Amino acid sequence: MVHTRFLLAFLLVVVAVATAEKRYDGYGLYRVQQSFQARRFLSNIKGLDWWSRPGPLDTPGDVMVPKDKRLAFEGTLKTRRIRYTLLSDDVQMLINAEKERQSDAIARKGKSDSRITFDRYYSHDEMNAYLDEVASKYPDIAKVESVGKSYEGRELKGITLSSGGSGKPLVFVDAGIHAREWIAPAVALYLIQELTEGSAQDLLKDVDWVILPEVNPDGYEYTRSEDRMWRKTRSKTSSEDCLGVDPNRNFDFHWMESGASSDPCDEIFAGDKAFSESEARALRDYVLANAKNAKAYLTLHSYGQYLLYPWGYDESLPDDWRDLDDLGNAMNDAIKAVRGTEYTVGSSGQALYPAAGASDDWSKGVAGVKYVYTVELPGGGFYGFDLPASEIKPVVEETLQGLRVVGQKVAGM
């Protein structure tokens, strides 16, 4: 009997170690009004994780709060009379539900052919395999290259799509710099599919497209197997307990001036120095290699439905901000026309809060690209961080209409 009990305890330990996935039992997910002010009041509570970036005025932001911080969190909001709604009392349940939906999608996938389908989220290996498949199927227009390696040695593959000729205006698109934002690489892959064999082939006539669909594969794979809410890279830091840098605070343009942290345990840790991360360096070099013809740079994120242009490091605006605002609004109109999805258009620093060291500011300020946008795609709301797999298709389809407007705009430049 004693032996059996011992054995049982031993087995439980083994099971616990084998499935050491990060859990979020009892974590609360809150939607906070006036999140801009709230964020300041809440800054002394450690471990808050903003899922959607809070904006000024009454724009709500979604924030995940660890179980042991919820009392202090709610207390602060009540004292400050800031309204909030509890979206979920247990984030782990949301994650479990998302997982179930995902495995349903994979089971369905088993019955279909090998072609990319956009009814589930793909692994990094599958994404790279898809790029190679496109390159071998369309050798006249597609060129795949390795543009660097992640911290853990995964290959960062980019694709150039061009109908030939030289010196054409170019649109640069990247996705997945934040690991948990799964919908972003899906949009990038869909763009590749539509440019090569779908409804966007006409956009290749006068414009070249360079696309890096997964900037942060270490983080992405980590969200698939260990911690769904992981955002950063997976590099070692000065803290033994806390890995990873926010690669979107790691760019060398007004680095660490605002909205970034020097604490390795924070979600927005900027790194010990600018470009400490191999992923950020690879993206930097890839943009620079294309900077001569690049007229637009789009970086895909989730969530919150924002179309943000520079500057992000503070509330100031570039001289040509009206051009950026006009094109942003045209993108919004095109997306909205599909099924009503609406984006907020504005500068990062004004529409949201200042955050320095991001790839968008750097692309305009250093690489000199004119039309620069961070696209915060739609999120899952009650569903979790990202949309259920069944809703990938409608989102990638509507977003393509926004990207089409950018292609048309730069065609004559």
Name the residues annotated as catalytic.
Answer: 376
Q: How far is the CB of 341 from Zn ion (least distance, A)?
A: 18
Q: Which stretch binds Zn ion (CB under 5 A): 16-24, 174-182, 238-246, 285-293?
A: 174-182
**Which residue's CB is nearer to Zn ion, number 274 or number 352?**
352
- As a whole number of angstroms, the distance between CA 131 and CA 121 comes to 15
Q: Which of residues 281 and 301 has its CB atom nearest to Zn ion in the complex?
A: 301
How far from the centroid of its chain's Cα atoms is residue 173's Cα? 12
CA distances to 33, 38, 66, 224 from 81, rounded to whole Å, are: 10, 10, 21, 38
Distance in Å, CB of 307 to Zn ion, minimum: 14
Determine the interface stretch with Zn ion among 206-214, 234-242, 277-285, 295-303 (rule: CB under 5 A).
Answer: 295-303
Q: What is the chain's length? A: 413
- Least distance between Zn ion and beta carbon 155 (Å): 22
Q: Which amino acid is at 255?
A: W
Rule CB under 5 A: say whether 178 interacts with Zn ion: yes
CB of 52 to Zn ion, least distance (A): 10
Q: How many CA atoms lie within 13 A of 259 on its CB side?
A: 24
Q: For Zn ion, what does the binding mask look like between residues 106 and 125, x meaning CB under 5 A?
A: --------------------
Tell whether residue 53 is a contact of Zn ion (CB under 5 A): no
CB of 147 to Zn ion, least distance (A): 20
Toward Zn ion, which CB reaches closer, 188 or 203? 188
Judged by CB under 5 A, the stretch of 279-287, 296-304, 363-371, 384-392 that binds Zn ion is 296-304
CB atoms within 10 A of CB 126: 14
Question: Of 154 and 178, which has the nearer Cβ to Zn ion?
Answer: 178
CB 403 within 8 A of CB 343: no
Smallest gap from residue 178 Cβ to Zn ion (A): 3
Please tell me whether residue 157 binds Zn ion under the rule CB under 5 A: no
How many Å apart are CA 327 and CA 29, to the nearest integer? 34
**Residue 173 φ/ψ, nearest 5 degrees:** -130, 130
Residue with smaller CB distance to Zn ion, 301 or 370: 301
Q: Which is nearer to Zn ion, 101 or 301 (CB)?
A: 301
Judged by CB under 5 A, the residue of 39, 301, 404, 409 near Zn ion is 301
Strands 294-302 and 371-377, bridge-based pairing: parallel
Kindly state the smallest distance separating residue 352's Cβ from Zn ion, in Å: 11
Count of residues in contact with Zn ion, rule CB under 5 A = 2
Using CB under 5 A as the binding rule, whether residue 249 contacts Zn ion is answered as no
Looking at the Cβ atoms of 170 and 307, the one nearer to Zn ion is 307
Between residues 134 and 387, which has the closer beta carbon with respect to Zn ion? 387
Of the ranges 16-24, 72-80, 173-181, 337-345, which one interacts with Zn ion (CB under 5 A)?
173-181
Q: At closest approach, how far in Å is the CB of 31 from Zn ion?
A: 18
Stretch near Zn ion under the rule CB under 5 A, chosen from 13-21, 300-308, 328-336, 365-373:
300-308
Q: Which residue in this structure is represented by tokens 């345990």?
A: 265
The region of 172-180, 210-218, 236-244, 281-289 touching Zn ion under the rule CB under 5 A is 172-180
Residues within the interface to Zn ion (CB under 5 A)? 178, 301
